[in-house]
Structure 1
């Protein structure tokens, strides 16, 4: 596409001898936190169902993809065209039911075949957990580790009974742990890990569920602050009981 070619040429010029001093100094590592921020902004646009913001944020993420490809091209590793070519080949090879003669009728069959083909492409892996980025958000990391382990047999034979029982056990242990040191942190981590397992077996994305709860909390706090401000009051002026009453009102408003 003409537009993609134009983008790659712009990035190359920005990185060139007469380009932008800031762009010239960037590396894969310096761009890393900015890429992460752009991805989160993209997720925000998706959650807000804002098409204009979605278009803009997709462009910002694309900028990083092309920028990283340009950095790789400069050290003669690969370029954006090779990135696109490899992706196209991967999509074709992992969809034999579309581009080949295989017949897969359900989503479950498609996912199972996808994972089989993916594993066949990575024969050098020594563990079923290899390839999962440890820098993922903690709840997402736990969920992905559990999913991968489940595919090789590490899962609850009776999750409806087993996981709630395990959760009760972990909660008892955390209640018996004194202080807030490493022992408490370890027990707390076990509780969170078990909750992620429960969410996984109920078909709920734990990361999204926690984020939605955080959003609801923030919305209610802002609602209370706005309501009190109209009366010339602040939350710090209220008693715990009054705050609880305001909280219940905020829940009804949303």
Structure 2
């Protein structure tokens, strides 16, 4: 059943991209024009998961699959790759990197699974230099970079002392230039992200949850949210 629905979706996207009978909007799309919309869909999925809204999650996952098939259809038209090649490469990678399931390998816990994954990746020549993750939101970027750089980790007391020192400088100095002030503020935010990450939590999730609670408090207190003037 799932196979039939998937093939139906691929055929629908092909029809939407038909140069003669397709949809004008779909025909003018490019990988670059679509990626901001794809990012929106991912965040809508995240929101549905956070709200535990299964019905909305089902819809948003469908929207993301639409984007994936649309991207692969464009790639096919440009003779770069096909959806079949994408799926074949993914299937091969999953089997290759799970020898404890599909082969003779061994992994007793999730930590060993991830260690094996990285070792296999390295053998494949896929071990890359540490990423900068500049495409991610700042707090997510900080989290990912901190996870990659074990040498960045510090004692809690060292982090807190650095934060207090920078706060003191910002509070007591009126001679800082705008650039120097922004540098200190950025350093404080990073140190906070480092501290939170070392506690095994995600700074983006922590802030998101706080903002959601803040919104609920204001809503429950009857405080009206300001509506932007048009």
The runs of 5 or more residues in structure 2 that have no matched partner are: none
> What SS is found at the alignment partner of 1:172?
helix
Find out whether 1:149 has 2:149 as its counterpart: yes
Rounded to whole Å, the distance in 1 between the matches of 2:55 and 2:126 is 42
Match of 1:21 among 20, 24, 46: 24
Find out whether 1:137 has 2:133 as its counterpart: no
Rounded to whole Å, the distance in 1 between the matches of 2:163 and 2:125 is 35
With over 3 angstroms needed to count, the CA separation of the structure-2 counterparts of 1:22 and 1:177, relative to structure 1, is: farther
Rounded to whole Å, the distance in 2 between the matches of 1:32 and 1:71 is 13
CA contact (8 A) 1:45 1:53 kept: yes
The runs of 5 or more residues in structure 1 that have no matched partner are: 236-254
1:9 matched residue in structure 2? 11
CA contact (8 A) 1:159 1:201 kept: no
* Alignment TM-score, normalising by the size of structure 1: 0.80
Deviations 1:104-142 (A, max 9, x none): 1122222222223334434574x3x13x53110101101
* Alignment TM-score, normalising by the size of structure 2: 0.88
Find out whether 1:60 has 2:57 as its counterpart: no
Instruction: Give the count of matched residue pairs.
Output: 222
With over 3 angstroms needed to count, the CA separation of the structure-2 counterparts of 1:89 and 1:149, relative to structure 1, is: same
Rounded to whole Å, the distance in 1 between the matches of 2:120 and 2:53 is 36
Rounded to whole Å, the distance in 2 between the matches of 1:96 and 1:9 is 35
1:223 matched residue in structure 2? 220
Find out whether 1:184 has 2:181 as its counterpart: yes
2:211 matched residue in structure 1? 214
